[in-house]
Amino acid sequence: MAENKFHILSKSTFVYGCQCPKRLFLHKYKPEVRNEEEEEQLSIFSTGTNVGIIAQGLFPGGINAEPADAFSYAQSVAKTKELIESGTNIIYEAAFVHNQVLCAIDILVKENGCWYAFEVKSTSKVKEPHITDAALQYNVITNSGIALKDISIVHLNTKYIKDGELDVTQLFTKSSVLNEVLELQSFINEKTKSLLQLVKDKTEPIIEVGDHCNIPYACDFSDYCSNGVEVIEDISDRPENIDSDYIQSFLNELQYPLYFFDFETVMPVIPEFDFSRPYQQIPFQFSVHVLKSPKSKLEHYEFLGDGINDPRPELTKQLVKCLGKSGSVIVWNQGFEKTRLRELAIMSPKYAKQLEAINERIVDLMNPFRKKAFYKRDFNESYSIKVVLPVLVPEFSYDSLTIQNGGDASAIYADLKNIPKENIEQTRKDLLEYCKLDTLAMVKILEVIKLKN
């Protein structure tokens, strides 16, 4: 990889080097060994970009100094300088270079003759890596001749509930990190010096895999570094176990009709619907299998939102009707479903009593596995339904499905409004099939528990 004469380090590569010098080296000189980027990670990066654009509404009327592409930061630095010299008071993506280190700040504002810097993060609070980011930005900006009065992290206010037009002043919180940033300046200077030398030496560091590979972020070269490393499996000595007394007590709790129930949710960073907040889990889909008696035929009901409108009102209406007024509502990991039901009750007072009554009827099928009352070594100490199902019911598997986990289902639903019209029908079928298998899996697992007890 040819060395960039304009700058050697950027904010992101500096952060790489702080986490692991080898990650910085591989990024610079062996990018071809990077892990394949996952669709979900791309979605997260895209979301971060959108949050940054929305946050510009905190300081409207600014001029964007962002470069046309990743190779044009020299022009961005020049444009930033021109804007400052011409008296521009609000600059988006202002770029600076000092000591061969490049950084851009999301929002730069001049008020009463003083400069203030704001870095936007799509998180609910300030995190330690954000302060390191800001410390580097402060270092580069102030050494470029801009005396910063303050530097802040702009993050999401998860207590904000959307009601009508999005209110960016309520959506975001501005948190000054100036004191922490000043304390890190000596570290920034020393670390910059060592990382610049690493890049110039072009010698791959010898660093073993360890906890640092995932802290503070998962390294995108983990496959390369792990190649050839012997993995020692921890095989539990715990004997396989079926606690008949516990299992029988659990089964005695069940009251017919049995409703096997599962939600799928989407979690918008920026609230899209009224009466929702940043990062709130929005149920968009449910599947219910119903067994009215031990020998009755299994029935199935389902709902899936359209991907455009708020799915909660219609979902709530159909769910209350589907789950009836009596019988056990069987879920896997009750904390999730119970919380969603309570949130729906707050949003829909009309159905609050029915939803609260449903919550009282919930039975958690995960409990026998979590408490090791039904234990097999092949569970590998896990009680995830994705692990338990193939062990107990080998003929059932998620492998044949287009969508194989909740994260994918959420990402696909979130993008439903953007996919070509000719693909929508099949995509909806894929979503329904995935959620349907989650509840059918519980039916089959309960059958095994009954047979084994």
Residues 185 and 254 in one domain: no
**Six token digits for residue 373:** 């009352």
**80-86: long-range pairs with CB below 8 Å, 24+:** 84/146
**For position 380, what pLDDT does the model report?**
85
**Judgement on whether residues 295 and 176 belong to the same structural domain of the protein:** no
Residue 400 — very low, low, confident or very high, per pLDDT cuts 50/70/90? confident
- Identify the domain boundary among 200, 226, 252: 226
Q: Does residue 162 share a domain with residue 261?
A: no
Do 308 and 196 share a structural domain?
no
Measured between alpha carbons, how far is residue 196 from residues 15, 105, 341 in Å? 13, 21, 53
| Average pLDDT for 362-385 | 92
Residue 338 domain flag:
yes
pLDDT at 69: 84
What is the rounded CA–CA span in Å between residue 52 and residue 446? 47
Q: Please name the residue that has the structure tokens 């009309």.
A: 350
- Let me know if residue 1 belongs to a domain: no
| CA separation for the pair 442, 439 (Å, rounded) | 5
Cβ-proximal residues to 441 (8 Å cutoff; 6+ apart), any chain? 385, 389, 393, 396
> Do residues 170 and 262 both lie within one domain?
no
Nearby residues of 11 by Cβ (< 8 Å), 6 or more positions away: 102, 103, 104, 133, 136, 137
CB-CB neighbours of 355 under 10 Å = 23
Residues 191 and 249 grouped into a single domain: no
4 is a domain residue: no
Tell me if 198 is assigned to some domain: yes
The beta strand positions in 233-349, using DSSP E, are 241-242, 258-266, 282-291, 299-304, 329-331
| Count of domains for the chain | 2
Which among 274, 282, 318 has a CA at the least distance from the CA of 414? 282
The 3-state DSSP class for residue 151 equals strand
CB 283 within 8 A of CB 317: no
**Residue 47: what pLDDT?**
55
CATH code of the domain covering residue 277: 3.30.420.10
Rounded to the nearest 10 degrees, how much is the dihedral formed by the CA atoms of 63, 67, 73, 75? -70
For residue range 258-300, what is the model confidence (pLDDT) as tens digits? 999 999 999 999 999 999 999 999 999 999 999 999 999 999 9
Give residue 5's pLDDT: 53
Same domain, 23 and 112: yes
**pLDDT surpassing 80 at residue 36:** no
Euclidean distance between CA atoms 132 and 146, whole angstroms:
19
Q: Give a yes or no: residue 3 inside a domain.
A: no
pLDDT of residue 396: 86
Question: Does 251 fall in a domain?
Answer: yes
pLDDT of residue 1 exceeding 50, the answer is no
Identity of the residue numbered 346: I
**Crossing angle of helices 21-29/11-19, nearest 10°?**
130
Task: Classify residue 354: in a domain, yes or no.
Answer: yes
How much of the chain exceeds pLDDT 70, in percent? 93
Report the C-alpha gap between 445 and 452 in whole angstroms.
Answer: 11
**Domain CATH code at residue 201:** 3.90.320.10
Structural domain range at position 399: 241-452
pLDDT digits (tens, 9 = 90+) for 89-105: 999 999 999 999 999 99
The verdict on 39 and 85 lying in the same domain is yes
| Confidence at residue 259, expressed as pLDDT on a 0 to 100 scale | 98
Q: Is residue 2 part of a domain?
A: no
pTM of the model: 0.84
Q: Do you know the residue count of the chain?
A: 453
Most confident of 65-69, 215-219, 243-247: 243-247
Query: Closest by alpha carbon to 140, among 216, 192, 175, 63?
Result: 192
Mind listing the pLDDT tens digit for each residue in 9-35?
999 999 999 999 999 999 999 989 888
Output the pLDDT for position 229: 55
Average pLDDT, the chain: 91
Judge whether residue 121 has pLDDT over 90: yes
Which of 192, 226, 260 delimits the end of a domain?
Answer: 226
The predicted pLDDT at position 301 comes to 98
| Greater pLDDT, 177 or 32 | 177
Contact 305, 314 (CB under 8 A): yes
Answer yes or no: do 250 and 386 share one domain. yes
